[in-house]
């Protein structure tokens, strides 16, 4: 295993740097330590009592073995690997691919160590139709991985039914067995039933692990392994971070510090949490984090049943790209944000900037510099500018970008989320508010038995011309 | 020109729908009309006085002619078209491509009507290095469009110097003339100097038009035309919207209504503005909007020099994808957001959902349905669920998605931004806060003359190990 680590840097949230109004003072940090330490103990207790099964995923030996065996088989003659899933069954898959495989992976046969990867997490007919047009004559070299614990998620089910019909039409009745892998509940549910009846190869969505905590299970691991990502290193990274995040000494535990600082700022009116990766590779990990953070902490009721309506709003801003889009607001707009930078200390690949033309000596400062130096300079420069305006900034520093550090990052933010849930005193593992929208979709699709709800929705479903301009 | 239009639907922000605490009452709408109407007049006055040059771009006849002539020439034997730009010199280009060309454009030779398009708006060595590895032996079939008014934007300059060196090495001293097009200030600046000295083909970044308002100039039009997008229809759409947005009758002017409703909610504590397109094609227009909105309205001082620190934080959430990531927070978290849905009434391409397996009759409701029906049902269902929790919702309805309606959308939001600037009483056209970060980057890159600033930045540039865990 690599020796690369990730680190949390928190000096730039202190009052020494950004002053007493927006910074955290020494005594406030002591207070945070006192408040948070019992929560670390409590989370360790919950974990030992088997109440947070996601924590044990990096130690599971069956899953990676199953996944690697299946991946090895798939890689023999698969040219395209397609994930059909949504939310927790897609964001982790996308994030691992962007983080650990080359930018030109799908386009460049030479840079690709595995089949092309596509992840569809929508039901847009323009998008999916364009893909179907392309893949239509390549079905026998394409494997579809349908991921859904229940199999009743409307988007995934719809995509699956399109693909099933296409495969049966083009490859005959045995096509499904060869081209489809179902990742589903081990025993019951719609997708399990369908998979068993059709004789599909299957993997398991573990029990008790919510979608947003499932990336280190077969949900996220299969597409990664198929595309040549070292899932053993990924899991080893998660285990290494587990030790650090279980540490009951507040100031040595990066998840505890991260959760406490986030909670501190939320309770003081900074309701927006901006994640700003200075690495294109890390950009989709920010979307994975957006789900983890929003769905876990956005809650109406606390654990005592009191109405609280809490939850920081996570925002992704990619450096340097979004400097040229958002930094004006971030510096001069309301001081209502906590910034978390992601920084890579050493890039495994670099590009040297060429010489400036003689007519433009003002660009000489760039000549012969590694591009990574410019990227990291821009990170520091943006942070400096934000600090100048007293905006609090955290940094997650990656020694380097590899499967181990990505595994560490995932685990760090999962445990941070659990601890933040305890600080907010809410249930971080449910998502009660997503049901009404699902039911309303059924009603709008005329699913039998939903007529009463359909009647209620009618005023929203029909636009009132008096308000249409 | 197509007869398709876009429309603003605003019933679901009224108190009739979401109640008096979060909805806008009839008398509040009358008040908004009285406040906003003089601003429409004022904006029309500014426009006639030549103070908002972006307003006239759709009427410029020179630019599209130059662009089409150049595009026609490029399309003859160019296989890859690469934009090097950032912020306003990239987001519009990306948005037009995603909105109006097929999802598989770069991968599928059959679906592509033009060269592949790449837009690089970063200095990430992993990303750019991967591209360079791929493009290295295709340079003679690749055209690079460097876009920067000044030519001193560090990211664009760095990318350009890498490409210049590569082209000169591989294609000799005449390579630049053939493979590079500069879109730059008409007369002065670094890129203009370089282009003139090297004999590059050039286009013009118009004077007085900020980057975020420049997509309908050669900045955004060339890559669009090269990739087969109908720029005449795009500009015609913008002109059609111009008429509607100049209308001094508040309730007939979609930009005025949009600006007033956004301003109303901001001043009542809803500081987050979520744009939620239910169309994969429209997702990157949301990123374009994020820059327009954040950079224009995020300001420390108002027009009287009073410190105000205003500015809504724009957030992109793609439907249906982000339903499974953000809706839990959006319904149960703080009621601090205004939602703007983008909806497409008629999709020009559709996909029919296949039959449900016999073992899963619970999926029968999807069988034989068009995917577009499901997508739009999910939009209505999500809106219904949000309204249930008294969250205000606007919808921009596209009759269909084509170059004209996209042109209408762009112009609608540009004028909305100008009117919102007047309501917020700030300068919507400057971006004073981006300078410090640029200077700090120079200092960190050891640019001569920046030593004093470098000294100030040192404490931020060096991590203090006492705060690194």
Which domain CATH number covers A292? 3.40.50.10490
Instruction: Give contacts of A32 with chain B, Cβ < 8 Å.
Output: none
Tokens 């690194």 correspond to what residue?
Answer: B468
CB-nearest to B320 from A123, A134, A431 is: A123
Are B392 and B451 found together in one domain?
no
Q: Number of helices (H) and strands (E) in chain A: give both, helices first.
A: 17, 12
Candidate from B165, B362, B447 with C-beta closest to A152: B362
Count CB-CB contacts under 10 A for residue A152: 16
Cross-chain CB nearest to B190 (options A12, A362, A383): A362
Please indicate, yes or no, if residue B1 is contained in any of the structural domains: no
Question: Among residues A173, A207, A232, which one ends one of the domains?
Answer: A232
Residue of A204, A295, A383, A414 with catalytic role: A295
For an interface test with B, the pick among A14, A126, A164, A339 (most B C-beta atoms closer than 10 Å) comes out as: A126
Whether residues B86 and B218 share a domain: the answer is yes
Task: State how beta strands A80-84 and A116-120 pair.
Answer: parallel
Looking at the structure, do residues A244 and A370 belong to the same domain, yes or no? yes
Residue A458 lies in a domain: no
Q: What backbone phi and psi angles, to 5 degrees, belong to B307?
A: -75, 120
Search chain B and give the residue with CA nearest A100.
Answer: B126
- Catalytic hit among B324, B358, B362, B465: B324
| Residue B67 C-alpha, separation from nearest chain A C-alpha, in angstroms | 25
Place of tokens 């630019």: B63
Q: Which residues of B touch A11 (CB under 8 A)?
A: 463-464, 466-467
| Those residues with Cβ within 8 angstroms of residue B400's Cβ, 6 or more apart along the chain or in another chain | B2, B4, B344, B345, B346, B347, B348
Question: Does a structural domain hold residue B92?
Answer: yes
Q: How much is the mean pLDDT over chain B?
A: 97
Residues A380, B457: C-beta atoms closer than 8 Å: yes
Single out the residue of B1, B4, B102, B95 nearest to residue B346, CA to CA. B4
Identity of the residue in B165, B297, B336 whose CB atom sits nearest the CB atom of A354: B165
Residue B429 lies in a domain: no
Nearest residue, CB atoms, B446 vs list A128, A365, A441 = A365
DSSP state at residue B187: S
Query: Mutate which of A110, A139, A164, A325 to test chain B, going by most B C-beta atoms within 10 A?
Result: A325
Residues B240, B173 share a domain: no
DSSP state of B112: -
A109 three-state secondary structure: coil
Of B267, B199, B315, B226, which is closest to residue B420 (Cα–Cα)? B267
Burial of B292 (0-12, 13-18, 19+ CB in 10 A): buried
Nearest residue to A264 (alpha-carbon basis) of A426, A423, A418, A389: A423
H helices present in B298-449, as ranges? 323-332, 371-388, 403-424, 435-444
In the prediction, which pLDDT does A105 show?
Answer: 98
Between CA A291 and CA A215, with CA A248 as vertex, the angle to 5 degrees is: 25
A320/B190 touch (CB, cutoff 8 Å), yes or no: no
Q: What is the pLDDT of residue B173?
A: 85
A61 & A182 share domain: yes
Q: What is the pLDDT of residue A41?
A: 98
Are A182 and A313 part of one and the same domain?
Answer: no
Asked whether residue B297 falls in the same domain as residue B177, the answer is no
Cβ atoms within 10 Å of B306's Cβ, excluding its own: 9
Angle of the A451-461 helix axis to the B371-388 helix axis, nearest 10: 90
Report the pLDDT value the prediction gives residue B3, as an integer from 0 to 100. Answer: 87
Instruction: Mark which of A424, A440, A464 sits at the end of a domain.
Output: A424
Domain contains A255: yes
Asked whether the CA dihedral B401, B406, B408, B410 is positive or negative, the reply is positive
pLDDT at residue number A2: 56
* Residue B438 among the catalytic residues: yes
Rounded Cα distance, B237 and B251, in Å:
21
Give the pair of three-digit tokens for residue A174.
Answer: 């045995």
Question: Looking at the domain assignment, is residue A431 inside a domain?
Answer: no
Last residue of a domain, one of B232, B253, B287: B232
Tokens of B311: 């500015």
Residues in chain B with CB shorter than 8 Å from the CB of A87 are 321, 324-325
With cut-offs at 50, 70 and 90, classify the pLDDT of residue B118. very high
Of B276, B420, B30, B343, nearest to A460 (Cα)? B343
Split into its structural domains, chain B has a count of 3
Query: Which among B8, B335, B467 has CB closest to A9?
Result: B467
Indicate whether A239 and A122 sit together in one domain.
Answer: no
Contact criterion met (CB < 8 Å) for A384 and B194: no
The C-alpha atoms of residue A116 and residue A144 are separated, in whole angstroms, by 12
Same domain, A309 and A377: yes
Do B414 and B348 belong to one domain? yes
Contact B211 A324 (CB under 8 A): yes
Q: In this model, does residue B2 exceed pLDDT 60?
A: no
Are residues A62 and A160 both part of a single domain?
Answer: yes
Residue A327, min C-alpha distance to chain B (Å): 7
Q: What is the pLDDT along chain A (469 residues), one digit of tens a residue?
A: 458 999 999 999 999 999 999 999 999 999 999 999 999 999 999 999 999 999 999 999 999 999 999 999 999 999 999 999 999 999 999 999 999 999 999 999 999 999 999 999 999 999 999 999 999 999 999 999 999 999 999 999 999 999 999 999 999 989 999 999 999 999 999 999 999 999 999 999 999 999 999 999 999 999 999 999 999 999 999 999 999 999 999 999 999 999 999 999 999 999 999 999 999 999 999 999 999 999 999 999 999 999 999 999 999 999 999 999 999 999 999 999 999 999 999 999 999 999 999 999 999 999 999 999 999 999 999 999 999 999 999 999 999 999 999 999 999 999 999 999 999 999 999 999 999 999 999 999 999 999 999 999 999 999 999 999 9
Distance, in Å, from the CA atom of B359 to the CA atom of A326, rounded to the nearest integer, reads 50
- Tell me what pLDDT residue A173 has: 85
In a domain? residue A308: yes
Q: Is residue B320 part of a domain?
A: yes
Whether the predicted model's global pTM rises above the 0.95 cut: yes
Subunit contact B290:A382, Cβ cutoff 8 A: no
Q: How far is B12 from chain A (nearest CA, A)?
A: 8
Q: State yes or no: is A126 an active-site residue.
A: no
Mutate to test the interface with B, among A274, A313, A341 (most CBs of B within 10 A): A313
Q: Are residues A32 and A74 in the same domain?
A: no
Residue B229: pLDDT band (50, 70, 90) is very high
Both ends of chain A: CA-CA distance in Å?
61
**Alpha-carbon span A38 to B157, nearest angstrom:** 52
Contact residues on chain A for B397, CB-CB shorter than 8 A: 463, 468
Establish whether B271 is a catalytic residue: no
Distance CA B321, CA A356 (A): 44
Separation of CA B281 from chain center: 13
Give residue B442's domain range: 434-467
Sort out which chain B residues have CB atoms less than 8 A from A322's CB and list them. 290
């Amino acid at each position: 295993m690599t020796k690369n680590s990730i680190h949390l840097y928190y000096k730039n949230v202190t009052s020494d740097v950004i002053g007493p109004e927006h910074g955290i003072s020494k005594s406030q940090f002591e207070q945070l330590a006192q408040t948070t330490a019992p929560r670390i103990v409590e989370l360790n207790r919950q974990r030992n009592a088997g109440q947070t099964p996601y924590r044990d995923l990096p130690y599971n030996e069956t899953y990676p073995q199953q996944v690697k065996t299946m991946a090895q088989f798939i890689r023999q003659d698969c040219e395209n690997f397609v994930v059909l899933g949504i939310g927790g069954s897609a964001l982790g898959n996308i994030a691992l691919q962007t983080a650990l495989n080359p930018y030109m992976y799908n386009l460049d046969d030479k840079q690709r160590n595995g089949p092309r990867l596509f992840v569809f997490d929508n039901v847009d007919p323009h998008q999916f139709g364009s893909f179907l047009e392309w893949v239509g004559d390549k079905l026998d070299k394409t494997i579809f991985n349908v991921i859904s614990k229940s199999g009743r998620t409307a988007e995934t089910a719809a995509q699956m039914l399109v693909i099933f019909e296409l495969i049966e039409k083009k490859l005959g009745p045995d096509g499904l067995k060869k081209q489809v892998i179902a990742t589903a509940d081990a025993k019951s549910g719609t997708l399990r039933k369908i998979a068993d009846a059709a004789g599909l190869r299957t993997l398991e969505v573990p029990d008790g692990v919510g979608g947003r905590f499932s990336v280190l299970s077969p949900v996220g691991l299969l597409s990664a392994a198929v595309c040549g990502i070292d899932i053993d290193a990924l899991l080893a990274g998660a285990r290494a971070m587990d030790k650090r995040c279980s540490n009951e000494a507040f100031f040595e535990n990066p998840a505890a510090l991260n959760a406490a600082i986030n909670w501190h700022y939320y309770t003081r009116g900074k309701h927006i949490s901006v994640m700003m990766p200075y690495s294109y590779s890390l950009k989709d990990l920010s979307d994975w984090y957006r789900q983890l953070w929003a769905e876990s902490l956005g809650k109406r009721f606390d654990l005592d049943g009191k109405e609280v309506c809490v939850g920081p709003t996570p925002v992704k801003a990619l450096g340097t790209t979004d400097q040229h889009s958002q930094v004006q607001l971030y510096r001069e707009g309301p001081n209502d944000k906590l910034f978390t930078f992601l920084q890579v200390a050493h890039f495994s690949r670099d590009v040297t900037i060429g010489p400036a033309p003689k007519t433009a000596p003002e660009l000489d400062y760039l000549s012969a510099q590694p591009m990574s130096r410019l990227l990291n300079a821009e990170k520091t420069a943006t942070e400096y500018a934000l600090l100048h305006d007293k905006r609090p900034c955290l940094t997650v520093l990656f020694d380097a970008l590899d499967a181990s550090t990505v595994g560490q990052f995932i685990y760090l933010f999962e445990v941070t989320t659990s601890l933040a849930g305890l600080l907010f005193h809410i249930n971080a593992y449910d998502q009660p508010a997503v049901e009404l929208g699902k039911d309303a979709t059924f009603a709008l699709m005329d699913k039998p038995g939903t007529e009463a709800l359909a009647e209620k929705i009618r005023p929203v479903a029909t636009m009132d011309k008096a308000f249409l301009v």
